[in-house]
């Protein structure tokens, strides 16, 4: 393995959900393609034996190595997918084979970080890896996870949650969002965004929710609109009035409004506000900046304008959003210094 590559081991077992296994490697494989050097990942599938494994979709997958072989060396990321069975009443039950749980626990001890996909969180829980942590899983099994493991703070809303070196993802296609977040942590959001574009996905930042996602990367049919959109994203703190944008695009104000509604499905002001809210979301999730600072950095001008935009777009306040979706632990306040969360 190239020294610049990070080893990702995906746990494989009978009945595993196919997309949980195949989705993340598609994301990780694009990292190498989007860089000019040897940076990237090496992804391998590990199972109890070298025999093919039959997934829930009926597709058979051949492991790259056995659990014993995987445990012989260091692992950058252990990725644990899930599996379920459905009873006669169509109730969903996560599968937690004790043998698989034991291997997850052992392999986790060899790993820099551990991540679960969908109901794979139940395997992490059974292995004791989520004790005292906040975690998410597929909405259909979240109540069961909370009931069986009261020491875990289960939150079914986020697409994924990071607690130190342990990540949990919701179901099922959220494995792609989780994988993009891992790429962003390892190589930066700029590269993760390029990968997201290749996948024709929005880059959902850590702990984001689908209903809180602002679509900043719609597919446009014209180069003029693409240039306008990127001009807005590059200048969110500056003057972005309709006359200014029309002059930049060399069109009339009426034509500019028509272009936005036709191509982006919004008025210029609505699109700009969405972009600013998205930037503010990221700062609330990943920094301790005050609301004053965020309002300035994101082009809102004042905290009151920021709060009104959040209420309009997300039906919440910046402070409430930060409390629920921040991905970094707040810094301990210094004597005489007010909390950065703001009002």
Q: Tell me how crowded residue 85 is: count the other CB atoms within 10 A of its CB.
A: 11
- pLDDT tens, 195-254? 887 887 655 544 444 434 444 444 444 677 878 888 888 899 888 999 999 998 889 999
On the CB side of 283, how many CA atoms lie within 13 Å of its CA? Answer: 22
Contact between 73 and 6 under an 8 Å Cβ cutoff? The reply is no
- pLDDT tens, 13-63? 999 999 999 999 999 999 988 886 667 899 999 999 999 999 999 999 999
User: What's the confidence (pLDDT) of residue 190?
Assistant: 80
Answer yes or no: pTM beyond 0.75. no
- Reduced DSSP (H G I as helix, E B as strand, rest coil) percent helix, strand, coil of the chain, to 5: 45, 15, 40
Contact between 119 and 168 under an 8 Å Cβ cutoff? The reply is no
The CATH code of the domain at 5-212 is 3.40.50.880
Q: How far apart are CA 12 and CA 55, in angstroms?
A: 9
DSSP string for 199-220: TT---PPTT--GGG--------
Domain ranges of the chain: 5-212, 215-343
Assigned fold of 215-343 = Arc Repressor Mutant, subunit A (1.10.10)
pLDDT band for 342, please (50, 70, 90 cuts): very low
pLDDT at 187 over 70: yes
């Amino acid at each position: 393995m190239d020294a610049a590559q990070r080893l990702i081991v995906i746990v494989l077992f009978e009945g595993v959900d196919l997309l949980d296994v195949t989705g993340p490697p598609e994301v990780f494989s694009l990292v190498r393609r989007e860089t000019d050097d040897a940076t990237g990942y090496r992804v391998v599938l590990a199972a109890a034996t070298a025999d093919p494994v039959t997934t829930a979709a009926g597709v058979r997958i051949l492991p790259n190595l056995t659990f014993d072989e995987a445990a012989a060396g260091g692992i950058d990321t252990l990725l644990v997918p899930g599996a379920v069975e459905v009873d006669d009443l169509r109730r969903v039950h996560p599968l937690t084979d004790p043998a698989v749980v034991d291997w997850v626990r052992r392999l986790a001890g060899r790993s820099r970080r551990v991540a679960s996909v969908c109901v794979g969180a139940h395997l992490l829980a059974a292995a004791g890896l989520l004790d005292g942590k906040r975690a998410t899983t597929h909405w259909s099994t979240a109540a069961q996870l909370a009931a069986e493991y009261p020491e875990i703070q289960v939150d079914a809303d986020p697409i994924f949650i990071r607690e130190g070196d342990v990540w949990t993802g919701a179901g099922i296609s959220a494995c792609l969002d989780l994988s993009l977040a891992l790429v962003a942590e390892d190589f930066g959001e700029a590269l993760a965004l390029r990968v997201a574009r290749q996948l024709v996905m929005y880059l959902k930042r850590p702990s984001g929710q689908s209903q809180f996602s602002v679509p900043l990367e719609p597919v446009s049919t014209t180069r003029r609109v693409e240039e306008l959109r990127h001009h807005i994203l590059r200048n969110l703190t500056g003057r972005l009035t309709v006359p200014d944008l029309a002059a930049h695009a060399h069109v009339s104000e009426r034509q500019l409004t028509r272009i936005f509604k036709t191509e982006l499905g919004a008025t210029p002001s609505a699109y700009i506000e969405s972009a600013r809210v998205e930037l503010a979301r990221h700062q609330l999730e990943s920094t301790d900046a005050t609301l004053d600072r965020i309002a300035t950095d994101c082009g809102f001008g004042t905290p009151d304008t920021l709060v009104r935009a959040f209420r309009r777009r997300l039906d919440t306040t910046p402070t409430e959003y930060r409390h629920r979706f921040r991905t970094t632990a707040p810094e301990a306040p210094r004597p005489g210094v007010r909390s950065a969360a703001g009002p």
